[in-house]
Amino acid sequence: LDAVDGALGDGEARFALSRPPGHHASRHAADGFCFYNFAAAATAYALDKHELDWVALVDWDAHHGNGLAAYAAEEPRVAYASAHQAPLWPHTGDVAGAEGNCLNAPVGRGANADSYGEAWAECLDFVKTRCRAEGRGLVIVS
C-alpha cells in the first residue's frame, strides 16, 4: 500500500516485492500457495483511498491469475490482462479472448519468444483501450 501511495503521490514508479504474488487467492479462499491477493488489495486501496477512475492489472506469471480475474470481473473500474501458459494449473484462462473487462492471452507449452511477445502486445493493447485516457489511473503488474 505504501507503493500505491508513493506512486500516486509523486508519480514515480514503485516496486513492491511480494512472493507468492497472491494472484490465485480469492476474496474467500487461499489457492495455489497464495494466501493473500496483494495486487487485488492494492487495486481496491487505490480505487477507494485515492479515488481513481481506473486501474489496469497486468498479470505476469506462467499460471493464469484466477483470483485476480475474479476480482476484476466484479469491479468495472479494473481492466485485467494475463499472458500465461495453457493448459496449465489452475485450468482457468485457457480460452483466448476478452470477456468483459478481462483478457486471457494463453500461450502453449514451449512457446517461442515471438508467440509470447504477441500475447503481451495483446494484453497491453487491451488495457490501453479499456483504461480511459482521461481521469486518474494506475497500472499494477502482478
Q: What is the pLDDT of residues 98-115, one digit of tens each?
A: 999 999 999 999 999 999
Provide φ and ψ at 11, rounded to 5°.
80, 0
pLDDT at 21 over 80: no
Residue 24 annotated in active site:
yes
**Number of C-alpha atoms within 13 angstroms, CB side, residue 138?**
30
- Distance CA(36)–CA(53), nearest Å, equals 24
Residue 107 grid coordinates:
500461450
Catalytic residue among 24, 63, 64, 84: 24
pLDDT at residue number 3? 93
pLDDT at 123 over 90: yes
Q: What is the pLDDT of residues 76-100, one digit of tens each?
A: 999 999 999 999 999 999 999 999 9
Which DSSP helix (H) or strand (E) runs through 113?
A: helix 113-130
**High-pLDDT (> 90) share of the chain, %:** 72
- Distance CA(95)–CA(18), nearest Å, equals 28
